[in-house]
Amino acid sequence: MLALLPYIEKAMLVANLTSSGYGSRKSSHEDPLFWIVIGLSVISYLLIVAGLGLYLAAHYELPIALMVTGLVILFTVLLVLAITRIYKRIRSRRIENSMKSMADEVTKIISNLGDDVGGAFRDNAGLAALVVAGLGFLAARKIF
């Protein structure tokens, strides 16, 4: 039974992995700060666009001022859309890579476990059920 402890420790480490590495979960203090920064950025952007519109209206004809201001807003929206798509693509690749890495790690653990302690499972059905239940718990915790 003591021979299983290193494998249980490895399985627990795999269960605690996140998509960006071990122990990198966000703290609850980062979320309000993030939304404050987003809100202030939106207000700043609106003031900059309003100032640009007023400047252009004072120096050029109104249709040209509106057209340039609209183009600036359109360019900004397209830039945000492109950045969002790139971020989602990078994030999905990172999640796929972490799931593949986790599957490889679990496969290594199970193969090492099978090599070292194969006879213990044949003789003791309770131990086999306990290990399978533990691995199921770890897998469910990682997936959900």
Overall number of domains in the chain: 1
The pLDDT of residue 23: 46
- Boundaries of domain holding 30: 2-143
Q: What is the pLDDT of residues 82-100, one digit of tens each?
A: 999 999 888 888 878 877 7
Cβ 9 vs Cβ 134: under 8 Å = no
- If we measure between CA atoms, which residue out of 7, 8, 15 comes closest to residue 98? 15
Output DSSP code: residue 25. Answer: P
The pLDDT of residue 22: 47
C-alpha 115/C-alpha 119 separation (Å) is 9
pTM of this prediction exceeds 0.85: no
Q: What is the pLDDT of residues 102-139, one digit of tens each?
A: 777 777 777 776 665 666 666 667 777 777 788 787 77
Query: From its phi and psi, is residue 61 left (phi > 0), alpha (psi between -120 and 50) or beta?
Result: beta
